[in-house]
Amino acid sequence: MHDFPKLVKYLPIIILLFFPGIIFAQDFNFEKLTTLDGLANNSVSGIMQDKRGFVWFSTHVGLNRYDGKDFRLFEYEPFNPNSLIDDFIKTMFYDSNKDFIWIGTKKGLSILDPVTENFLNISLNDQEAKSILDTEITAIEKDNQGNFWIGTSNGLVKINNEINDSLVFSSSKEKSFFIQDNRIKDIFCDSKDNLWISDYSGISLYKDGAFVRYFNYPGPDKENLDKNKFFCINKISEDILLIGSWGEGLILFNTVTKEYSIHNVGNNKITKIKYDNKGHIWVGTWDSGLYYFSNIESLKRNSYVKYLHDYDNEFSLSSNIVYSIFEDNSGRLWVGTDGNGVNKLNQIQKNFKHHFYIEKINEKNSEITSLLIDSTDHMWIGSTKNGVYIFDNENKEKAHFEHNPHDFSSISSNTVNSIVMDSMKNIWILTDLGVNKFNRKSNNFERYYFDGEKISKSRKNIDIQKNEFYSGKEDRDGKLWLGTSNGIYVWNVAKGITTHISKNLPKGKRLSDNTVSAIDIDTEGIIWIGTRNGLNSYHPISGNIDIYYHDYYDIHSLPDDNINTIYCDQAGNVWIGTGSGGVAVLDQKKKNFNSFTKKEELDHNTVVGLTEDQKGNIIVVTFAGISMITKKANIELSTVTSLTAQFGLTKVNLYGGIAKDKSSNIFVGSANVIYKLNTVFYYLNRENPEIVITDLTIADKSYLELFGKNIFAEEEIRLKWTNGHISFTYNAIDYSFAEGRKYKYILEGFDKYWTFPGERNYASYTAIPPGEYRFKVTGTNSSGVWSTNEASLKIIIIPPFYKTTVAYFIFALLLFAFFYGILMLVRSREVRRRLNDVSKLKDELLALNLVLEEQARIDILTGVHNRKHFNETFERLWAIYLRAKHNFSVLMIDIDYFKKFNDTYGHVAGDKAIKTVAEALLESVSRKTDSVFRYGGEEFVVLLIDTDMTGAYIVAERIRKKVLEKKIENGKIENGYGYVTVSIGVTSTNNTNPETQIQLLAMADENLYKAKESGRNTIV
């Protein structure tokens, strides 16, 4: 074995010939996590995942736990012996058997128990081992026997699995076992229980109590001082190791035959190697980026993909210095860097690309209103202030056309509302001052103005106010249908004849409104016309027009009368994008609509664009993002998925322009920016996230603080009856995208229905009576797909002693003994006195019982009725309403910016504010029949008996003013009013005609949501 070539100084002579690496374009997108997101430090030395799904980052300034949304920091605390031993972490190892995290720092070794969040110090009998472990820890590994091997900058320590005894290896030749170089870099245990140790001068194999040396570097050669430091080891197969060196690149080593080959990678300074579950090889370097080899054969051919930092590409690798590489349970790769945070990448997205399509069009603050890709693949862009742009995508050339008041061949206005191409490939520009036909030969425009059935190329004697054009479409006969502020002009361009259709025509022939915002034609040739007040369908044969309106009491009516866009798909469905009602699709047979709104996971209810992808899915462009409707055979069962996060459009406002090219790329317009979205390879997140209850607070104290362990380690807890005010924090652990997760929860035994809080990941309960309950919560992943997992916690609220079975038994015995004594003295005067005493005692017990029963219905903090009493009252009122149609109103009230208030002023001030708001509510409700309830946290409900919507609004306004009069200061809160305010959602049975009490409550909740969207301190 010692005849194996081992002198590294001869390695350059025997390096195999290799072909130049193939460097492809970067086809992965990296999402960054830095200190701006909550990471402790941007130098990330290690990454791992525990059994609950949490990802852990070791950095140079502490340890982070990450759940896909929030970071939890663990750091050194000077006077806390249970804290991290040092903040500068070099390496870490997860012991899944005991659920412990071993952490190596510059000053020693710590072991974290994630349940208790305590760090343990290892107590060893061997004093020499203690002294070595007091230095810099560089590597941690566990062998097949459960022993731990700790590499340091001053030697190697083996810790037996009881963690009380150790064996020390160092370069001292006086010992029976020694390792040649104390500066350990990596330790790897293979399936045969061979231990491979890399250091600054070679590789050592430890087996059967002895070390065997490979690739030994003989001595301090100044010319090769920075070469041949062996940094990392990884297994490729049962007998093949891949070794990373500092100076000679990658070494592919057969541990059986002892044959090896050397492969250059970048500058050959290898810092990390990862062989993933799909057989791909990832190689991190120092200042030469990240390398990807598809398999071992591509490594041998030196065929790779290289990822480098690109200042002009926000989705490139954040740094060329790679510290750590990790593959999580779902196959996602994480890359830690030196000074530039963590890079997260999903290999399923390999073919997906996202980028800004063009730079800002103009410095003017202009919105893109219309997009068109013509037959020559040129893109036409219309804007609100800048006229028209034409882009030649192939040659990357740009032409710009603006209105020139002195040039009548220029475009008639810089406000472009729509661009239409007819069957003759003519381009028509629709503006707020007429129609323009583009002349390709002369690069100028012909202007057209309309007045009734009159067409003119001059504005003379034309009512210019009736020439604001919004939409256009060519029909099967070659006629242009032009939607304006004055109805529709149907223009036979060849014959120069127009027909004017407006709301002033006879019934059956007239439009619902003259402002025509959208036009499209379905597969049957029916022309669909969207206006600012209703939807119209024009039948070409009869000339008749059917009109569809919104009906508040009919859920299958049009959801909103304000129509922004119409799209007729290839299957014959008619899709309607509205101003505030989301998307509706027409059921042609039933002549009714099915709607998709934010409740169905649509990104926003203002729809500005619709189109269809290559799979027949409907792409919905909303004001706040892009959603996809996956059509089902039964259109009512179609599902909505948000694509906003994966397209990188979070917090981007989209204004209306939409176009699709021959490659199924979709282009959407924003303010001065166009986004190119590849819908062929977009990634729908189908991951099934783990659901974890991350915290439980009791009277504003965390479960960890009260009981010394995290709530996620518990399956059942017992609380005293005085601890009925609790709050849960939970999370769907999904690392695909940071946003988009939604939740539902229920406290079985207390709640009758599931609560859907949207993206809010906490729930609060007050005044929970004694009993057994189970809190359940589940959620969606970032694409809105509900997890099949749920987190569950059994909660037992222990009653006071006087309400226990034992107490009742004792009371019964006492009463029996008492009455027995009375019977024995029944004929004496004392009997009468005792009977009177018994009567008084019964009255006192009855009074006490009434007091206790009343206390169970009152919220302890505010003194108003609690959630349990609300559920009972609300159910009784609903039964009365169904039986006698005795109307009542519901006010849903929420304190504005309360979470920020709590974070700024503290929980004590928060409790005081809630009490003051409750006082304002009680002062505002004058009738004894009206009731105030604390619904949970900062939310209240008011039930108004025999009150219609008008009366309810009067009470709501009285409440809003009364809260302001209390002058609860919140001047430090951004966007606040200086004082605490409330938002109120109002609904009434006589106005809404609800089918169920859930629907009535949901209407009030929806109006509350609208009130908060309208700026808060308001009533809807």
Task: Give the other-Cβ count within 10 Å of 205's Cβ.
Answer: 16
Element (H, E) at 962: helix 949-965
Q: Which contacts (CB < 8 Å, 24+ apart) does range 919-923 have?
A: 919/966, 920/959, 920/962, 920/963, 920/965, 920/966, 921/864, 921/893, 921/959, 921/962, 922/864, 923/962
Let me know if 938 is a catalytic residue: yes
- Whether residue 727 contacts residue 762, with contact meaning beta carbons closer than 8 Å, is answered with yes
Residue 560 makes CB contacts below 8 A (sequence gap 6+) with 550, 578, 579, 580, 581, 582
Task: Give the other-Cβ count within 10 Å of 231's Cβ.
Answer: 21
Torsion sign over Cα 338, 344, 347, 350: negative
Residue 130 makes CB contacts below 8 A (sequence gap 6+) with 124
Q: What is the DSSP letter of 124?
A: -
**Which ranges of 27-77 does DSSP label H, i.e. alpha helix?**
none
Task: Give the other-Cβ count within 10 Å of 357's Cβ.
Answer: 16
Tell me the three state secondary structure of residue 737: coil
- Whether residue 612 contacts residue 619, with contact meaning beta carbons closer than 8 Å, is answered with yes
- Whether residue 430 contacts residue 482, with contact meaning beta carbons closer than 8 Å, is answered with yes
Beta bridge partners, 75, equal none
Of 188, 184, 234, 193, residue with least CA distance to 93: 188
- Whether residue 966 contacts residue 916, with contact meaning beta carbons closer than 8 Å, is answered with yes
Among 601, 690, 938, 939, the active-site one is 938
Residue with tokens 């057209």: 448
Q: Is 174 exposed, middle or buried (0-12, 13-18, 19+ CB in 10 A)?
A: exposed
List strand residue ranges (DSSP E) for 34-121, in order.
44-49, 55-59, 62-66, 71-74, 89-95, 100-105, 108-113, 118-120
Q: How many residues does this entry show for the chain?
A: 1020
In whole angstroms, how far apart are CA 612 and each of 439, 573, 645? Answer: 30, 11, 19
Distance CA 135, CA 130 (A): 9
- Whether residue 22 contacts residue 303, with contact meaning beta carbons closer than 8 Å, is answered with yes
In whole angstroms, how far apart are CA 585 and each of 81, 511, 571? Answer: 64, 20, 12
Distance CA 283, CA 251 (A): 12
Residue 4 makes CB contacts below 8 A (sequence gap 6+) with 214, 258
Would you give the distance in Å from CA 81 to the centre of its chain? 37
Distance CA 429, CA 389 (A): 11
Q: What is the DSSP letter of 246?
A: E
Instruction: Look up residue 18 and give its two tokens.
Output: 């290799």
Q: Is 97 exposed, middle or buried (0-12, 13-18, 19+ CB in 10 A)?
A: exposed
Residue type for position 265: V
Catalytic residues: 938
